[in-house]
Amino acid sequence: MSDSVFQDNVIIITGASSGIGRELAYQLAPQGARLVLSGRDITRLEATAEHCRQAGAKVLTVTADLTRREDCRSLIQSAVQEYGRIDTLINNAGNSIQANLEDYPDPTALEQIVQLNYLGSAYCTFYALPYIKQSHGRIVAVCSMAGVIGFPGLSGYVASKHAMSGFFEAIRPELKSYGVSVTIVYPASIASHIEKDPQDPNKKLPMGMMPVEACARLTLQAAARRRRELYMAPGGKLLLWLKLIAPGSLESFSANAVEKDRAVRKENS
């Protein structure tokens, strides 16, 4: 059994049926964590869980739509009923919409993405808070560089991630006296949407894209060390300085980054 800080740690991962959430579960399973995996797709969620069980982990799956406040409450209650406590909450579930604002069919899409990316994380954190305070545990927010920089064609996503980042920055000092750490992770372009090629497992990813395995590993390292934040974009903090001193240049950079990401997604779709 691993001597990881996550051994016997009761960890909730939202959005665990695919992408970063699934990879976090895969990496935590052999470390001896007690997992609570949440997602909307029960088939993919159970596939993730079975993989983790084969690695020796104890796993509880909870299907939940985190745009519904009651589902967030039920997720936390299910975790406590199964394990008796919560040590770590990883708020990972999220979605994105790629479209200019003028191309939205109606503004309800903005409401839906904020409901999942921001309020879903806030609701889960609210209901888990009493238990995490008891365990002096960890809260992890898988945010995005879109939480600190505006990217054109992603206005709804950017708004939801800015709200998410601000929320967790605000509660961090509230929880300091309880020994609870709040780690905000800011991934950039993650290849969670690109499946591995079984014919060429060593095939390189497009330049600038981070493998989902690396993203999950860095996230867990930051959480284990109780880091305040982690910027995964090359020169992430430099981009924040650029926002202050040369905002026009940053706008050009962000527009080019979005176009590049769209091209990669189209090529791999």
Output the DSSP codes for 166-180. Answer: HHHHHHHHHHGGGT-
Q: Is pLDDT of 196 > 50?
A: no
pLDDT band at residue 125 using 50, 70 and 90 as cut-offs: very high
Q: Which of 1-10, 169-178, 187-196, 215-224 has the lowest mean pLDDT?
A: 187-196
Residues 6+ apart with CB under 8 A from 33: 4, 6, 7, 8, 9, 10, 11, 57
Q: Do the domain assignments include residue 139?
A: yes
Q: Do the domain assignments include residue 31?
A: yes
Q: Is pLDDT of 205 > 50?
A: no
**What is the span of the domain harbouring residue 102?**
10-267
**Inter-residue contact 12 to 124 (CB < 8 Å):** yes
Q: Do the domain assignments include residue 208?
A: yes
Domain count, the chain: 1
- Neighbour-count burial of 225, counting CB atoms closer than 10 A to its CB (0-12 exposed, 13-18 middle, 19+ buried): exposed
Q: Is pLDDT of 55 > 70?
A: yes
Instruction: Give the orientation angle of helix 236-245 with respect to helix 247-267, to 10 degrees.
Output: 140
Report the pLDDT value the prediction gives residue 263, as an integer from 0 to 100: 60
With the CA atoms of 93, 5, 224 and 34 taken in that order, what torsion angle do they form, in degrees rounded to the nearest 10? 0
Q: What is the mean pLDDT of residues 170-176?
A: 98
Among 83, 131, 157, 231, which one carries the catalytic annotation? 157
pLDDT band at residue 217 using 50, 70 and 90 as cut-offs: very high
pLDDT band at residue 194 using 50, 70 and 90 as cut-offs: very low
**Inter-residue contact 65 to 39 (CB < 8 Å):** no
Alpha-carbon span 167 to 162, nearest angstrom: 9
Q: Is 231 a catalytic residue?
A: no
Residues 6+ apart with CB under 8 A from 227: 181, 183
Report the pLDDT value the prediction gives residue 201, as an integer from 0 to 100: 42
CATH number at residue 239: 3.40.50.720
Q: Do the domain assignments include residue 37?
A: yes
pLDDT band at residue 204 using 50, 70 and 90 as cut-offs: very low
Which one has a higher pLDDT value, 63 or 260?
Answer: 63
pLDDT band at residue 4 using 50, 70 and 90 as cut-offs: confident
Q: Is pLDDT of 207 > 80?
A: no
Q: Which of 74-88, 139-153, 230-244 has the lowest mean pLDDT?
A: 230-244
Report the pLDDT value the prediction gives residue 98, as an integer from 0 to 100: 84
Structure tokens at 217: 């590993």
Q: What is the mean pLDDT of residues 18-37?
A: 97
State whether the Cα torsion 151-156-159-164 is positive or negative.
negative
Q: Do the domain assignments include residue 3?
A: no
Q: Do the domain assignments include residue 199?
A: yes
Q: Do the domain assignments include residue 51?
A: yes
Report the pLDDT value the prediction gives residue 52, as an integer from 0 to 100: 98
Please provide residue 17's backbone torsions phi and psi, each rounded to the nearest 5 degrees. -85, -10
Kindly report the pTM of this predicted structure.
0.86
| Digit-coded pLDDT (tens) for 156-168 | 999 999 999 999 9
Q: Do the domain assignments include residue 5?
A: no
Alpha-carbon span 186 to 35, nearest angstrom: 23
Residues of the chain with pLDDT > 70, as a percent, come to: 80
Output the DSSP codes for 101-144. Answer: GGG-SSTHHHHHHHIIIIIIHHHHHHHHHHHHHHHT-EEEEE--
